[in-house]
Chains A and B, each alone.
Chain A
Amino acid sequence: MDNLSYTMNDRLKFRIIKNKAMKWAVILLTFLCALPLAFILVYIIKEGIAAINWDFIIHIPKPVGESGGGVANALLGTVIIIVVATIIAVPIGILCGVYLSENKSNKFASWVGVSVDILQGVPSIVIGIVAYFWIVRPMGGFSALSGSIALAIMMFPIIIRSTEETLKLIPDSLKEAAFALGMPRHKVITKVVIPCGFSGIISGVMLSVARIAGETAPLLFTAFGNPFVETNLLKPMQSLPLLIFNYATSSYKDWQSLAWGASLVLLVFVLALNLITKLITRKWKVQL
């Protein structure tokens, strides 16, 4: 009896030590994952904060040699390009997601689903090239619109899949309740299914915006960039990622500092979007 309890005790000790070792291993690895983000944040804030002031927001870049200047053209351009991309991507993406979730066993739907997955894997530079050949060339010049379309194509898979996944979670019993009240199918979808999954759909849209906000490659040969403020969608337009790409690789100190400032703005924008998404999902979540 004594012998047995002695061995049990030993084993137990070993288990406890193993447990602790695993726990610390997990903590350490988690910490390692978060480390790069912390480095990026600290570095960009350190370098970028100096560049940010009122001028930075309201002025356009000064010619080389003159000090000061800002990124007003890129800020405005980014906002315009993203808003237009969202306007294009949201209706198509949500409708496609609804279609996929409502037609689970349909051959065409599963084929579309696979295409959406493949689209998600297409490198952004390839989407940029496609937009260049399909839109920029036929239209005869670089334009903000072509950039928005390229970004919208990148948003599709994210919006479609998140809409589909959200709506698949809506229980069939709810749809049946609606059908039993004599509702036609389109009303069941627009008045019951979509409102119940609204928070999930919105968070998908927000995440897709956060995802494309910093995309540079698709804009290189579509929106192209512009040293001046431009609001015409059919003209080349500056955007933050393009500005960062061009100015950070230049050899002028002033421009490099503008690029750091722009990086910080972009970073804060993306972090804020993620944060807002979290708040929205929490606030508008429908208890199923």
Chain B
Amino acid sequence: MESTIIKAVNYNAYFGDNQVVKNVSMDIARNSVIAVMGPSGCGKTTFLRGINRMHELVPSAHANGKIWLNDEDILEMHPIVVRLKIGMVFQRPNPFPNLSIHDNVLAGYKLNGIKLSKSERERIVEESLTKVALWKEVKDSLMKKGTFLSGGQQQRLCIARAVAMQPEVLLFDEPTSALDPISTAMVEELFKELKKNYTLIIVTHNMQQAARVSDKTAFFYMGELVEYDETKLMFTNPTDQRTQNYITGRFS
């Protein structure tokens, strides 16, 4: 249960000469939910995007150090392989507007040209949508465009799209910041379910959310990993003064 799935060792990330993630080392246990929090510009999103090699899509961005996924170094792997093993959900729901709900779930297969039989397709669509608690709501409108759904449903569709690829790890970049409270609650509820099969890393601005959903919390400040501990401990008895200041609201 407590086996490590991701292990960052002295990871650094840059935009040009500007170092945004400084010497981060952390172990992430399989089937756990990790919340990554910190003030704006603290490098938490960059770190998250480093894990599935999305960081380097920005021109001039580069990184060094090591991030182990099981026993492979992510920085040495082909980015496409990394991204198939580590799914990602973004801040704003971004279903493909030219595809139906059905095809959005299968987008990772379809657009990559991976052939599936009809029964496989149906199984994956139903399973993935069930996992994100969207199946009942959309099963009669699978052929409608993904953008036809509400914002909260779209975000769950995006999670289903990531889940459909059967990744090992799911990254969430402030997944509820564009959603209303009810949709937010539904997505948070999902995390508990998804945790059974996947490891979740969630960047969030919302401390209550971190406290509600995560097993462990990492606090980033000015590109450094200041503190990383059990969420309960972190919110009741932080060891670093900066963490204390942040969670008591002295800065944000």
Partners in one complex: yes
Residue ranges of A at the interface with B (Cβ–Cβ < 8 Å): 105, 171, 173-174, 176-184, 187, 191-192, 195-196, 198, 286-288
How many residues on B have C-beta within 8 angstroms of the other chain's C-beta atoms? 30
Q: What 6 pairs across the A-B complex have the smallest Cβ distances?
A: A182-B83, A180-B88, A182-B84, A181-B108, A191-B111, A173-B94
Considering the complex, which residues of chain B in the window 62-101 have a beta carbon less than 8 Å from any beta carbon of chain A? 80-84, 87-88, 90, 92, 94-98
Q: Are B94 and A177 in contact (CB under 8 A)?
A: yes
Distance of A198 Cα from B98 Cα, bound (Å): 10
Nearest-neighbour CB distance to chain B for A94, whole angstroms, equals 17
CB-defined contacts of A191 to chain B, threshold 8 Å: 110-111
Residue ranges of B at the interface with A (Cβ–Cβ < 8 Å): 52, 54, 57, 59, 80-84, 87-88, 90, 92, 94-98, 107-108, 110-113, 145, 147, 158, 161-162, 165
CB-defined contacts of B94 to chain A, threshold 8 Å: 171, 173-174, 176-177
- Give the contacting residue for A286; candidates B54, B87, B90, B97; CB below 8 A: B97
Given contact pairs A105-B59, A196-B97, A287-B147, A178 touches B87 in the complex (Cβ within 8 A)? no
Distance of A179 Cα from B112 Cα, bound (Å): 10
- Give the contacting residue for B83; candidates A174, A179, A196, A286; CB below 8 A: A179
Q: Are A182 and B59 in contact (CB under 8 A)?
A: no
- Give the contacting residue for B112; candidates A173, A176, A187, A195; CB below 8 A: A187
CB-defined contacts of B82 to chain A, threshold 8 Å: 182
CB-defined contacts of B90 to chain A, threshold 8 Å: 173, 176-177, 180
CB-defined contacts of B111 to chain A, threshold 8 Å: 178, 181, 183, 187, 191-192
CB-defined contacts of A173 to chain B, threshold 8 Å: 90, 92, 94
Q: Are A180 and B54 in contact (CB under 8 A)?
A: yes
CB-defined contacts of A171 to chain B, threshold 8 Å: 94
Distance of A181 Cα from B108 Cα, bound (Å): 5
Q: Are A182 and B80 in contact (CB under 8 A)?
A: yes
Given contact pairs A181-B111, A183-B112, A195 touches B98 in the complex (Cβ within 8 A)? yes
- Give the contacting residue for B87; candidates A105, A174, A180, A287; CB below 8 A: A180
CB-defined contacts of B57 to chain A, threshold 8 Å: 176, 179
Identity of the chain B residue whose Cβ is nearest the Cβ of A175 in the assembled complex: B57
